[in-house]
Structure 1
Amino acid sequence: MGSKKIAILGGGESGIGTAILAKKKGYTVFLSDKGKIKEKYREVLRNIKVEWEDERHTEAKIFDAEIVMKSPGIPDSAPMIKRLREEGIQVVSEIEFASWFSEVPVVGITGSNGKTTVTNLVQHLLKKGGIKSGMGGNIGNSYAKMVADDEPDWFVLELSSFQLDGIESFRPHIGILTNITPDHLDRYDYKLENYIDSKFRITKNQTEGDYFIYDADDKNITDWLDKHSIRSQKLPFSLERKFENGAYIENEQIVVKINNTQFTMPTSELALQGKHNAKNAMAAATVAQLLRIRKQTIRESMADFDGVEHRLEKVLKINNVLYINDSKATNVNATFYALESMESETVWIIGGVDKGNIYDDLLPLVNEKVKAIICLGVDNDKIKRSFGNIVETMLETTSMDEAVKMAYRLADKGDNVLLSPACASFDLFENYEDRGRQFKDAVRNL
């Protein structure tokens, strides 16, 4: 192979992981970030002794490379990316690059919502089943870093549509598509079909020996499958119908059937409640069945799973009011699930950077469950227009402390206070984790 030159655009988790792996595989590495690279990542770059820069892009060095890895945050439409492709320089994602150096089978999980929960649940099942697996991708460690570090028996990867956009030969042995609802449309020319195609790239290189697990109640998914053929074996899950091969609900039990083997578990025993979590559980249990994990182990794992931080996370009960952190709800659909699972009157904290949200679907739920809305964002006009005449009380703030204090004053015994923003966090916070942590700190300081 000789010493190939790779240029890496972006010094975040995927960029640093790629640098580590490329260096290990004998590439000449140049990493460039237009923004500022975090100190913890600079430290890694200094340790592995690769050339890097931040707050600029030195084009001569980037265009000197034979291959370019671009971070998922950089759109395909960026002028530099277009020019690289015109010059015939291969541009790939970190997921694609890492896959060239690993024979370890992958469970790849994508979807608009639920993918983090399913990824964590699959990892939990594998761990309890005694299967050595590495979890990462769009959460936690980058795939490239894990490939460089260690060879487990399986990789469990959460994959965003942006990561899938940059694959060519990457092939998960088991692909999962949790659902598709409009999200990130600003990156897909505001065309839902482009976003759907992007999600289905998870099946692009699958063969007859691979599996595709998907939500058969999701019209966007089933319509696409009606029009396109995929080679992998389909294993649907549904709350509405039954399958010869797949997962469904019967007599309040989850049933997973694969090639005449059957797994059942009462839905009441699942650690995570709510319809959407029954689906997440079906997807994960299907993987566990494929990997022949003992049924008893699957049941125990599904019953003791803790859930994911910032996803309907119960923080504290104060004066019999429950405070719930759902900061990970960065789109309307995620917030729909949150409101749907509220069993009592709710004070709802919403707002942030809107990715083209349409709030209509939430109106009946807000009408039924929400007693007051606190807008936590720089621009709340759309929220006010959408819900102003449904709820009596609507307040605005740009401070999390202030929002939680307002909620404390508005909530009565037995109520919930729910942070489920339906928006991205970048107007006031570093990211949704920062937003969720600030909420939890503010609640603990009441």
Structure 2
Amino acid sequence: MLSEQQHMEQSEKKLVVLGAGESGVGAAVLAKQKGYDVFVSDSGLIAEDYKQQLIDLNIEFEEGSHTEGRVLNADIIVKSPGIPQKAAIVKKVREKGIEVLSEIEFAARYTLAKLICITGSNGKSTTATLTWFILQKAGLNVGLAGNIGKSFALQVANESFDYYVLEISSFMLDDMTQLKADFAVLLNITPDHLDRYDYKMENYVESKFKIIQNQREDDFFIYDIDDEEILNGLRKYKSKATYIPFSQQKILSEGAFLDENSTIIIKVTNQPTFAMSINELALQGKHNVYNNMASGIVAKVLELRNESIRESMGEYQNIAHRLEHVAQIAGINFINDSKATNVNSVWYALESMPANVVLIMGGVDKGNDYNILKDLIHSKVSAIVCIGKDNARIHEAFDDETDVIVNTSSMKEAVTLAYHLAKKGDTVLLSPACASFDLFKNYEDRGDQFKAAVREL
């Protein structure tokens, strides 16, 4: 938290937010509240609801380009995680020595809440939401933010939570220097999306391990001891925190492990041992056992009752339209991610998926830059089924990255075609990257139509 003196000093400071999505607009709202001279700049078009928020608060903004002189005149830059470090404007900002922060780091300066920071290549959204659900059901005053829900900065501006569960991507970690995680959770590290890291795995691993930087003796580091990249990273990156591992391969004296491959056991110092059959978990699958272990350790360290944790793990349901598991038909999983109305959201959805995805995408394109998706499309997507009135830019972006790209004119047609393109073990993922207003009322209507079409197969 900042002192009164620092508050007075910042009132004259110029703060520029690069990117006017959920995190950027949230950062702008908080900065305005804290007395900064705020300007928002987005090289693309700003969604109407975000634009209206800025207008209502009399926050200056521009869209369609960055006015270089205005940006480079800033004292502080809050950068959207979706903007690469190699972007021309970011390079110029760094050359000038202007302080660059992520929205998460900026917001953390203005809250005394405990921060439960969750990262990993896969399972972040599920583990963050599950952790929030367990804590909230147990009666804790807890918010959910990061790459999920309303932005952390907006919640810090408008709410007063005692805890925040934050889903943190490597992109966010790249712009963090001072943030301290009271709980740092590292789920896994797999060699995906390395285009942002000069195609060097060690750079990506370094980014993920920034989750433990600045931790102190009274903090906790919760990690998957079965993950080879994490084990390698542990030799290089150190935290002063208490280390608590989880494993499906080893019996541990402290942490979470499987007893006879069927029961999750969680042992935390000075707390009653927790035990729950994996068959009783609401979220099934090997990867979800890991996710439940990580969430369970957080809950045990916070001294929540075993009955409460067990109840929450047994009845948890993924949030609607955000990586929502709809059904498994003929061995094919159908996932509804209709809430993914921009490219970044699709990136996060694809990074959490196993390989062999049939991707349903398209709609009202707001000038999307599809470049950040190319590597993931190439490595994970076997076919793209376009839904929307104009799919030319999707074809243009991904013709060389996947074998099949087809157009459809209704959700029912898209789901039926995706079903025929998929094989047993594949995933059909609705993650549109676009607004829904050409064929649907909103993203909820689009997701509901997807679920209805799946159930009719």
After TM superposition, the structure 1 = structure 2 runs for residues 54-203 of structure 1, keeping only pairs within 5 Å, are 54-203=63-212
Q: Compared with structure 1, are the counterparts of its residues 243 and 55 closer, same or farther at alpha carbon in structure 2 (3 Å cutoff)?
A: same
Residue among 287, 290, 294 paired with 1:283? 294
Which residue of structure 2 lines up, in the alignment, with residue 366 of structure 1?
none
Q: Is this contact kept in 2: 1:7–1:69, CA < 8 A?
A: yes
Seen in structure 2, the aligned counterparts of structure 1 residues 207 and 135 have a Cα distance that, compared at 3 Å, is same
Shift of 1:231: 1.6
The correspondence for 2:266, drawn from 243, 249, 256, is 256
Alpha-carbon distance, 1:5 to partner: 1.2
TM-aligned CA distance change 1:244 to 1:69, over 3 Å? same
Q: CA deviation at 1:356?
A: 5.3
Q: Which amino acid aligns with 2:287?
A: H
Aligned length: 407
CA, structure 1 residues 426+152, in 2 after alignment: closer, same or farther (shift >3 Å)? Answer: closer
**Deviation by residue 1:329-387 (Cα, 9 ceiling, x = unmatched):** 84477225xx8xxxxxxxx7358854157769x9xxxxxxxxxx765374466655xxx
- Give the Cα–Cα distance (whole angstroms) in 2 for the partners of residues 321 and 5 of structure 1: 55
Amino acid at match of 1:275: K
Inter-partner Cα distance in structure 1 for 2:24 and 2:203 = 25
TM-score normalised by structure 1 residue count: 0.82
Contact 2:336 2:451 (8 Å CA) reproduced = no
**Whole-Å Cα distance in 2 between the matches of residues 411 and 33 of structure 1?**
37
How much does 1:61 deviate? 1.8
The aligned counterpart of 1:365 is: none
Partner of 1:313: 325
Q: Which runs of 5+ in 1 are unaligned?
A: 340-347, 363-372, 385-394
Q: Cα deviation per residue 1:273-299 (whole Å; 9 max; x = unaligned)? A: 111111100000000001111110000
Distance 1:68 1:380, change over 3 A: closer
Going from structure 1 to structure 2, the CA distance change for 1:54 and 1:157 (only over 3 Å counts) comes to same
Equivalent residue number for residue 314 of structure 2: 303
Residue 389 of structure 1 is matched in structure 2 by none
Structure 1 contact 407–417 (Cα < 8 Å) conserved: no
Distance 1:416 1:65, change over 3 A: closer
- For 1:203 and 1:44, the matched residues in 2 are separated by 34
Tell me the residue number matched to 1:265: 276
CA distance 1:401–1:186, shift in 2 (3 Å): farther
Change (3 A) 1:64 1:256: same
Match of 1:220 in 2: 229
The partner residue of 1:335 within 354, 361, 365 is 354
Cα offsets for 1:68-120 (capped at 9, x unmatched) = 11111111122222222222211111111111111111000111110100001
CA contact (8 A) 1:324 1:418 kept: yes
Q: Aligned partners of 2:332 and 2:98: how far apart in 1?
A: 54
Counterpart of 2:290, as a letter, is K
The match for 1:274 is 285
Partner-residue secondary structure (3-state), 2:93: helix
8 Å contact kept, 1:213–1:237: yes
Deviation at residue 33 of structure 1 after TM alignment: 1.0
Q: Distance in 2 between matches of 1:53 and 1:205?
A: 35
> How do residues 380-419 of structure 1 correspond to structure 2 at under 5 angstroms?
384=403, 397-399=406-408, 401-406=412-417, 418-419=427-428
Q: CA RMSD in A?
A: 3.2
Decide whether aligned partners of structure 1 residues 237 and 358 sit closer, same or farther in structure 2, where only a CA change above 3 A counts.
farther
- Say which is worse superposed, 75-84 or 63-72, in terms of deviation: 75-84
The answer as to whether partners of 1:324 and 1:416 remain within 8 angstroms in 2 is no
Offset at residue 314 of structure 1 (A): 2.1
TM-score (norm 2): 0.80
Give a deviation string over 1:249-302, Cα, whole Å, max 9, x none.
003210111114321111111111111111100000000001111110000000
The one-character-per-residue Cα deviations of 1:226-246 (angstroms, maximum 9, x if unpaired) are 233222111111100022221
Gaps (5+ residues) in structure 2? 1-8, 338-345, 362-372, 387-394, 438-442
| Alpha-carbon distance in 2 for matches of 1:217, 1:105 | 27
- Among the aligned pairs, what percent are the same residue? 40
User: Which AA in structure 2 matches 1:301?
Assistant: S
Deviations along 1:164-212, one digit per CA (max 9) or x if unpaired, are 1111111110011111112221111111111111111110111111111
Does the Cα contact within 8 Å between 2:18 and 2:41 map onto a contact in 1? yes
Letter paired with 1:443: V
Q: Residue type matched to 1:255 in 2? A: I
Once the two structures are superposed, residues 35-82 of structure 1 have per-residue CA deviations (whole angstroms, 9 ceiling, x without a partner) of 111111111111111211111222222222211111111111222222
Query: Aligned with 2:243: secondary structure?
Result: strand
Matched residues in 2 for 1:283 and 1:254: separation? 11
Identify the range of structure 1 (54-63 vs 129-138) with the bigger mean alpha-carbon deviation.
54-63
> Are residues 255 and 74 of structure 1, via their aligned partners in 2, closer, same or farther at CA, if it must alter by over 3 Å?
same
Looking at structure 1, the residues matched to 331 and 352 of structure 2 have their Cα atoms a distance apart, in angstroms, of: 25
**Distance across 1 between alignment mates of 2:14 and 2:401:** 48
Structure 1 position 398, deviation (Å): 3.1
